[in-house]
Chains A and B, each alone.
Chain A
């Protein structure tokens, strides 16, 4: 129903997602199913908007141009995302390729007179100059306010250009929940790259004979859509492919680094599997409703037990339970043997995590399995998909610990970390500096060059944490010589004093 609209709905409405809460893990575990009273902060620090994660996916699509319709700075974040585009293409094709992005660079005149004319010229010229298969037209805040109709421009031009034009709506001021980015990207892909394609052309080569077609149909019964995320590198995909192939399944990976021409294959698989439930419900429901592709959206395969559960779910769908148990038994045995030399160093050490909700919770589970005691978690937003995750953590925690829903907001983090003094911090990219400057050894919670996922990820993360804890001098030295920009009084104040909920001050 959503896909007939130009834009996807905000996650605030669709899922009741929120960004400003405080509670504990046991409190969260009990709250199942009810919508939270989201708060607002009266002091805020900058964070990101949905445009950044959207661009992180779009930049990886081969043979595409990302045309950002906005002022000349929107999308300059791609300078860092380009590193991922380069390494990702090198890992997948053997050649490091820069992303290609453009800006319509709206100026003051355009703001007054509208940017549609400029956008029209830009699309035509991008098509002529670079001959891409796809032009993603990403609209930003300014066109959203002045009322440029990017869908109208795209529809008018589509006949005249070779590339497929895919409008993507990323007005940052419209939603607090940047996970709306995934919906925005999927919305554009579904409307422009799935629909209106001739199935037979997409699925079979011209002149293909009957026997080939049967083979193809057979293959599809064993083919799964593996939903990847831009925060997961090729190394993690390889781990998941390895496990799925061990079950005898074939794998379509989507959407990061997937070919625009073959995206339609998504509509023909036996099952879609999410690796990060925060990411994928919007498109998985659509694939199910429209194309009859069932889906699984539970568990992130980070952590030993999480990986087991993830794999068991998939195996159950294909009636491969016995095979799954054999794989799990062997994987666990090998992994636990390998971990034995590392885990003694983690016993009793405390950890604080901060990242996107699923990533933070699943990684917390893994760290608990490695012997760490979780002291606190900050999730960047909260929605219904993670409810089961809090219950998992509450079950294994010896002591209740703090849960804070925050769209980064390092000032709260600084206050909490000063109080809790954890031995280790794991945070989102660009979110580890606060811990470091307080002298807490920090490790990035995702990095596309590093392994995190599956059994291999558990081992590799443990290995890296052992390395970090063997010599945290970088962080200790920083703490001795630099200070964070907060007043001394701030550390004595209630870390959540700036959160206001509709029910008044604080969140009981």
Chain B
């Protein structure tokens, strides 16, 4: 990680916030924050502003139980307050699983949540905990840490393996604003291969199914980074191997995804091909009537793609290989180490279209324009200038100023998404490719 003085407008909240969002998304789960009083509100406001108008769920936002430690607890320790908070939470809140999540303050003062949680577990309370201090990392880290806790403390050991059963993760709830739709589409596709899927966060998932997760044959992680540590832990602890893939957006990437899953599980190639054929037929039959307007309105675009480690490469590939646009610059806003950077960079190689977009890792969105100017020489008052036009910026809502500068269309996909309402829309898979096509072109023709 390059040594930089600050993170400009971080496109995430901290580990603690990512953890709360993750627990909130598990059906029937109740997070218990062991933190100062402001953390829950900070996370609620974050989702309010960045998660496509989605805040919390069954037990999110300001409903989240929290120890609200004060100065006194900072001086004398907050463990007694935590014990009291857990006991009363179980009394008031109706949950199938309680997950205690620690924070900066309670970890700095050295509160040890483990023995307290253990007391309740011994009494039969379904409870787990994760140490998710904000200084341990960002929301993606928090997601990974919660998964690790589930795999250590909730997933039962020694269950027998079940053929055709898989766990799916790598899409952090709320931090990936399109999490619900993204997971549902991949679930649908995996089921169409005849697999049984545990995906943790949809309303077809449950705490009971999470407990049985170790019976899976394979864990599928649709991310190079998010949830990968948890996958390694799962393998070590429960003996289930994992497959790491790109976030599959659109037909090209999804073909690859299904083929790789099929290979790893030694599925009948004929079955996989049949699914791919049917999905492709549906995709292109649906796209077909757009052809006239796509041509007549000249809807091909140059593009700048800005996003996190999941979205930036996935969206670039969709634009280049499926939609036939020209993504020239791809900006990954996460602060990754070299290994992670390498993994993400490899996703931008070998595009079927032959395009090789320029990739930069840059956490300061205000610097993107300088990267762009270095890549695409400005008009030196030439009569004939090969302009970056017509253009489109596919990023977060923080890229609106960049889009205005480039006189480009704009769509928010990667966090923060302040200017769209998102419920179960998703961009993964074949259906997601259609959604993304709709949304990109709608943004262009909005003033028509």
Q: Which residues of A contact B (CB under 8 A)?
A: 42-52, 67, 70-83, 98, 100-108, 110-111, 118, 121-122, 124-126, 129-130, 141-142, 145-146, 172-174, 176, 178, 407-408, 410-411, 429-431, 433-434, 484-488, 490, 498
Contacts and interface: CB of A to CB of B under 8 A. Distances in A.
Nearest to A408: B62
Leading 3 A-B pairs by shortest Cβ distance: A46-B40, A73-B14, A49-B38
Given A102-B6, A485-B95, A73 B71 contact: no
A141 B35 CA distance: 10
A130 B366 CA distance: 9
Residue picked from B14, B16, B67, most chain A C-beta under 10 Å: B14
B64 to A, nearest CB: 5
B124 to A, nearest CB: 16
B88 A42 contact: yes
A278 B328 CA distance: 53
Contact of B74 (A51, A111, A125, A173): A173
A146 to B, nearest CB: 7
Residue picked from A76, A78, A145, most chain B C-beta under 10 Å: A76
A80 B366 CA distance: 19
Contacts of A72: 7, 10, 12-14, 134-135, 137-138
Contacts of B139: 73
Contacts of B398: 98
A124 B5 contact: yes
B58 interface: yes
Contacts of A82: 49, 418
Contacts, number: 247
Contact of A49 (B41, B46, B88): B41
Contacts of A433: 55-56, 61, 63
Given A43-B85, A44-B67, A76-B12, A487 B92 contact: yes
A487 B94 contact: yes
A108 B131 CA distance: 13
B46 A77 contact: yes
18 contacts: A44-B68, A46-B35, A46-B37, A46-B66, A46-B68, A72-B10, A73-B42, A98-B401, A100-B8, A100-B366, A142-B104, A145-B105, A172-B37, A173-B36, A176-B68, A433-B55, A485-B63, A486-B93
Interface string B23-67: 000000010010111111111111011100001101101111111
Residue picked from B10, B50, B64, most chain A C-beta under 10 Å: B10
Given A47-B38, A71-B14, A142-B135, A430 B88 contact: no
A110 B108 CA distance: 11
Nearest to B56: A433
Contacts of A103: 6-7, 10
Contact of A76 (B4, B10, B109, B133): B10
B45 A77 contact: yes
Given A47-B37, A141-B36, A141-B105, A100 B45 contact: no
Contact of A71 (B41, B66, B92, B135): B135
Given A176-B70, A430-B55, A73 B138 contact: yes
Interface residues of B, number: 74
B296 interface: no
A19 to B, nearest CB: 9
A232 B444 CA distance: 34
Contacts of A121: 5
B260 interface: no
Interface in B122-179: 133-139
A79 B137 CA distance: 18
B84 interface: yes
B41 A46 contact: yes
B84 A47 contact: no
B5 A122 contact: yes
Contacts of A49: 36-39, 41-42
Contacts of A50: 38
Contacts of A129: 364, 366
Contacts of B105: 141-142, 145, 172-173
A52 B42 CA distance: 7
B416 interface: yes
B89 interface: yes
Contacts of B133: 71
A52 B45 contact: yes
Given A51-B38, A126-B6, A80 B14 contact: no
A49 B36 CA distance: 8
B368 interface: no
A487 B40 contact: no
Contacts of B10: 72-73, 76, 103, 105
Contacts of B93: 411, 485-487
Interface string B254-295: 000000000000000000000000000000000000000000
A102 B138 CA distance: 14
Given A42-B84, A46-B37, A52-B38, A490 B134 contact: no
A434 to B, nearest CB: 7
B190 interface: no
